[in-house]
Structure 1
């Protein structure tokens, strides 16, 4: 009898977690969660802060915006769902809406796997170790101390990241990317019109940009693939023994500054009037006798690594120190 009553109480608590709330209401709710489970968060307008903690619970605190129609907070097996529904999202697509904004603080177990999506929202994430996927259209993403598989995407907002570990991919269209102290197996960064600034000790790197400028400071790279169309790319790096670097640009500029002990073969080509500057060795840049092409084939040290750079009509510079 007591066991049946206890089950009834638990069921009632779970039901209450999924009830509707009034617009503009202050909330403070908790629900039991699998410490290694999933947390799905669907957001529209406002600000959200998502923090890892030691409890096997998910807690949501804060204030809902004036246009909130329904707030869903429930557990479905291994997943906790947090969803803010607004009355008419088409009327509130501009940034921002003053009283239309939610201001939420969400606590999750450290090992949770987080999936966060939003339209017009800024989000801060910290101390989450199970993996994080955060996407927003018009909003900034601030991420610190995330581990596992990390995916951060924004269309029109900046992304700032610090102390990330694992498999990291950060992407934006019109915003800037700043990532510091990243440690992991592979980093990937992509931007169309924004700048990319990265300091990392990850072993593998992929960077793609169209019009943005890129500044990279890397340690012991085993593989790097760099692509830019019209932007300027500056990279300081230590190339690992047997490491490989590939870089291409159309009309942009690539400057590669290697550690003093670099050991690699270099193949650099400019296909249509581009310029090659060699500050690494004494070998001369060769020019096509009948066309605008030029190239540089050189080596330093024992030639253990490989560096290939190609440009159409941009500028490529290699140096060390």
Structure 2
């Protein structure tokens, strides 16, 4: 009977307190002489914010499954790392989540590596490089060089400025109020951007693209089978280049575009001009077609090619 009582107490204690309580951490290091911060968290969530203090601080919960938690200075860099055991093919479980906040001066470079870890970044003014596998990424008010990528997670950004690269495979990208040079890439996810960037590259395979742009010097958009819906003001001497296999383009110019248009379809694609009265010319033999016309002084260039898609250009 006593054995059953003891067993019941053990079971009850396990149910009440669990076996994977998190470790509380609150640590800081002075930032004098430090130029970069590196964070690695395989699973959980990391929040990164800039502050005005001359120190780097970490505050939060580290899973007790961690072999160790590293918070140290190495040369001019501070390293923050959650080290988990190698579980091989068993992968990672939710009980291994580490959730913590990192605060650092905005002038420091920052890089992050994760697997199933979400990350949120705000207010960094130097290089920011982020890479995770299945985590979501939220980036706000970053500047300088920005390189953010995930495999199956989503990327949400706002107020980025500088040289910007956002990439995902099956997740979505939603970008707002970016400025500078913008490079967006996806495979099956959707891309949505509302940007004042002057130079842009937007590439997708099967996902859709939706953009609203202002005062563009150069825009290159490509898709295989996705739908592209966009509006832009194309500057004089600017370039718009579009290409697809079976995907459709519906492009609206919000200014009185001054451009030379060269558009072609190779295998039954449609070319539709709603800016002037010029019509596509179809080949005498075969399904190909071409559309050539000029608006205003023709200083800018609009080039578009498709195999079997539909391309529409118009003025709003």
Alpha-carbon distance, 1:92 to partner:
6.2
Correspondence for 2:147: 151
1:33 aligned to which of 31, 34, 41: 31
Correspondence for 1:45: 43
Describe the superposition over 1:274-293 as per-residue Cα deviations: whole angstroms up to 9, x where unpaired: 01111111101100011100
Correspondence for 1:93: 91
**Cα gap change, 1:34/1:215 in structure 2, threshold over 3 Å: closer, same or farther?**
farther
Q: Do 1:35 and 1:56's aligned partners in 2 also have CA atoms closer than 8 Å?
A: no
Correspondence for 1:301: 296
2:46 and 2:194 map into 1 onto residues whose CA distance is: 26
User: CA RMSD, aligned part only?
Assistant: 1.4
**Cα gap change, 1:46/1:92 in structure 2, threshold over 3 Å: closer, same or farther?**
farther
Alpha-carbon distance, 1:155 to partner:
0.1
Correspondence for 1:242: 237
TM-score under structure 2 length normalisation:
0.91
Alpha-carbon distance, 1:264 to partner:
0.4
Correspondence for 1:255: 250
Correspondence for 1:68: 66
Correspondence for 2:57: 59
Alpha-carbon distance, 1:108 to partner:
1.0
Correspondence for 1:316: 311
2:123 aligned to which of 104, 115, 127: 127
TM-score under structure 1 length normalisation:
0.90
Describe the superposition over 1:127-173 as per-residue Cα deviations: whole angstroms up to 9, x where unpaired: 11112101100110000010110011000100000000110000000
Superposed structure 1 runs of 4+ greater than 2 Å apart: 88-94
Describe the superposition over 1:33-71 as per-residue Cα deviations: whole angstroms up to 9, x where unpaired: 247611111111101001111112110000001311111
1:168 and 1:244 map into 2 onto residues whose CA distance is: 19
Alpha-carbon distance, 1:255 to partner:
1.2
1:139 aligned to which of 135, 138, 141: 135
2:99 aligned to which of 87, 99, 103: 103
**Cα gap change, 1:36/1:178 in structure 2, threshold over 3 Å: closer, same or farther?**
farther
Correspondence for 2:8: none
**Cα gap change, 1:92/1:37 in structure 2, threshold over 3 Å: closer, same or farther?**
farther
Alpha-carbon distance, 1:23 to partner:
7.3
Q: Do 1:276 and 1:315's aligned partners in 2 also have CA atoms closer than 8 Å?
A: yes
**Paired residue total:** 297
Correspondence for 1:10: none
**Cα gap change, 1:277/1:257 in structure 2, threshold over 3 Å: closer, same or farther?**
same
Q: Do 1:24 and 1:68's aligned partners in 2 also have CA atoms closer than 8 Å?
A: no
1:117 correspondence with 2:113:
yes
2:262 aligned to which of 264, 267, 275: 267
**Cα gap change, 1:35/1:320 in structure 2, threshold over 3 Å: closer, same or farther?**
farther
Q: Do 1:33 and 1:57's aligned partners in 2 also have CA atoms closer than 8 Å?
A: yes
Of 42-51 and 32-41, the range deviating more from structure 2: 32-41
